[in-house]
Amino acid sequence: MKLREGLFSVDIRRPSSSVKLLGGAVSRDADFIIGLAMRRAANVVDLMGLLPQLYDPHSELLLLRLCMGIAKLFFGLKTCQPVHMEEATLFFDKGLRGSIENIVVCGGPFFGNLQWRLASLPIRFGGLVLYSAKLVSSYAFVASRAQSWVLQDHILCDSGICGMDDDYVSALACLRDTIPSFDFSGFTNKDTVPSKSQQTLANVLFSEMVKDMEVHFDMTMRQKTVFECLRPPHARDFLLAIPIDGLGQHISPVEYHTILMYRLMILLFPVDAICPVCHNACLDSFGEHAVHCKELPGFKYRHDIVRDVLFDICRRAGIFAKKEAPMNFLTGPSDGRSTLKPADVLVFGWVGGKQCVREFDRGFSSHKVK
């Protein structure tokens, strides 16, 4: 590289080969990059170690995701060759997994590779958005380079360097091995690179992971069903809730642990037993009955109060509505009673003269309108 003489005063110190810029390494020196990445990963893992002092899994998970997660390492993953980041990503992932495990099961058993994989998925795929650095490192560097290809060519136009260097080629080759089913030919030329490379690659990688999960983890029918239920819109909205006591948005530690364990398919009870509250149902080890037990307050209270308020609003506004209305629309009169549960609130004469059913979910997602 050509250096212009006299650009800086001689007494201004500057490193001979490497520099730290915006928290990331600008260097060709492997030791410098590895050292910087490791220091950063170690700082983040140390920070994660302080989370249990909050004694509040709701706040802990939120802080872990937004302030201590992959965001702390992401810049380095985008700017440095993946091969030099490997040690730091493994160290970070070990710390992250331990921290999630601590929040979800508090040192208990049943947090395995399936739970770790589920936690690493984006929210729309049913995950906890706690990305594994190893996974992100597989596409972040390629995506960043590909997205800024035109800019790089512009900046380096007088330097004699053009096109992508060996770092990009080898990172792309590794990514090809990770996602063999994807056609990477568009990433070999700056004219055909997708404009949103990072989004494209992340989507492809996570879609492949989701497809592979049922086979890789030999999931049971129950696990497949729960996994399917985690993915519709709003099914994970509870993850986005900021804990505010005044608005009733702060989920208690017991509730939060239970929700996380249920959604990560972890046993809530070691054996099936009779429900100690209603005494007439089997309290299965996955807690299916526990979240729906008619005798339990809390969930039911909140569900009923929302239903009653809406019903009251309709009544006062002169809209004809019915509470707990039977739904017989899928059964003929000859079939007898419908096995469908009644509608929480059935509103007559909604938009266009249609009937409207409002169902309130007890599982921290939003209500459904049919």
State in angstroms the smallest separation of the CB of 257 from Zn ion: 19
Query: Is residue 278 near Zn ion by the rule CB under 5 A?
Result: yes
Query: Which 3 state secondary structure label does DSSP give 92?
Result: helix
Question: Cβ distance 138 to 175 under 8 Å?
Answer: yes
Question: DSSP string covering 324-370, please?
Answer: EE---TTS-GGG-S--SPPEEEEESS-GGG--EEEE--SSSS--EE-
Pick 173 or 282: Cβ nearer Zn ion: 282
| Closest to 174 in 3D by CA, of 162, 163, 161, 187 | 187
Instruction: Say how far apart CA 249 and CA 243 lie, in whole Å.
Output: 5
Stretch that binds Zn ion, among 31-39, 83-91, 97-105, 274-282 (CB under 5 A): 274-282
Q: Measuring CA to CA, how many Å separate 326 from each of 191, 311, 318, 343, 367? A: 60, 16, 21, 6, 18
Q: In the complex, what is the shortest distance from the CB of residue 63 to Zn ion, in angstroms, rounded to a whole number? A: 34
Min dist. Cβ of residue 307 to Zn ion (A): 20
Q: How far is it, in rounded angstroms, from Cα 75 to Cα 25? A: 9
**Binding test (CB under 5 A) with Zn ion, winner from 47, 62, 209, 275:** 275
Cα 240 from Cα 117, distance rounded (Å):
20
Is residue 111 within 8 A of residue 105, CB to CB? The reply is yes
Considering beta carbons, is residue 278 or 309 the nearer one to Zn ion? 278
CB of 323 to Zn ion, least distance (A): 23
Q: Could you tell me which stretch among 31-39, 49-57, 243-251, 288-296 binds Zn ion (CB under 5 A)?
A: 288-296
Q: Between residues 266 and 293, which has the closer beta carbon with respect to Zn ion? A: 293
Of these, 219, 277, 291, 356, which contacts Zn ion (CB under 5 A)? 277
Compute the distance between CA of residue 127 and CA of residue 227 in angstroms, rounded to an integer.
9
| Cβ 86 to Zn ion shortest distance, Å | 50
CB of 273 to Zn ion, least distance (A): 11
The minimum distance between CB 295 and Zn ion, in angstroms, equals 6
Which distant-in-sequence residues (6+ apart) come within 8 Å of 298 by Cβ? 255
Piece of the chain touching Zn ion by CB under 5 A; list 103-111, 174-182, 233-241, 289-297: 289-297
For Zn ion, the binding residue among 293, 321, 345, 346 (CB under 5 A) is 293
User: Judged by CB, which is closer to Zn ion: 50, or 278?
Assistant: 278
What is the side-by-side order of every strand in the sheet holding 356-359?
321-325, 343-347, 356-359, 368-369
Size of the site for Zn ion (CB under 5 A): 5
Closest approach of Cβ 284 to Zn ion, in Å? 11
> Which of 275/319 has CB closer to Zn ion?
275
In the bound state with Zn ion, the residue whose beta carbon lies nearer, of 282 and 305, is 282
Q: Which of 52, 34, 38 is nearest to 253 (CA)?
A: 52
Give the interface segment with Zn ion, choosing from 45-53, 90-98, 172-180, 286-294 (CB under 5 A).
286-294
Amino acid at 52: P
Question: Any idea which residue has 């009653």 for tokens?
Answer: 308
Q: Which is nearer to Zn ion, 19 or 278 (CB)?
A: 278
Q: Which residues, in sequence order, are CB contacts of 78 under 8 Å at separation 6+? A: 24, 140, 141, 143, 144
Give least dist CB 300 to Zn ion, A: 11
Main-chain phi, psi angles of 55, to 5 degrees:
50, 35
Three-state SS at 256: helix
Q: Which stretch, 137-145, 213-221, 276-284, 350-358, contacts Zn ion (CB under 5 A)?
A: 276-284
Q: Which stretch binds Zn ion (CB under 5 A): 164-172, 199-207, 291-299, 362-370?
A: 291-299
Task: Give residues in contact with Zn ion (CB under 5 A).
Answer: 275, 277-278, 281, 293
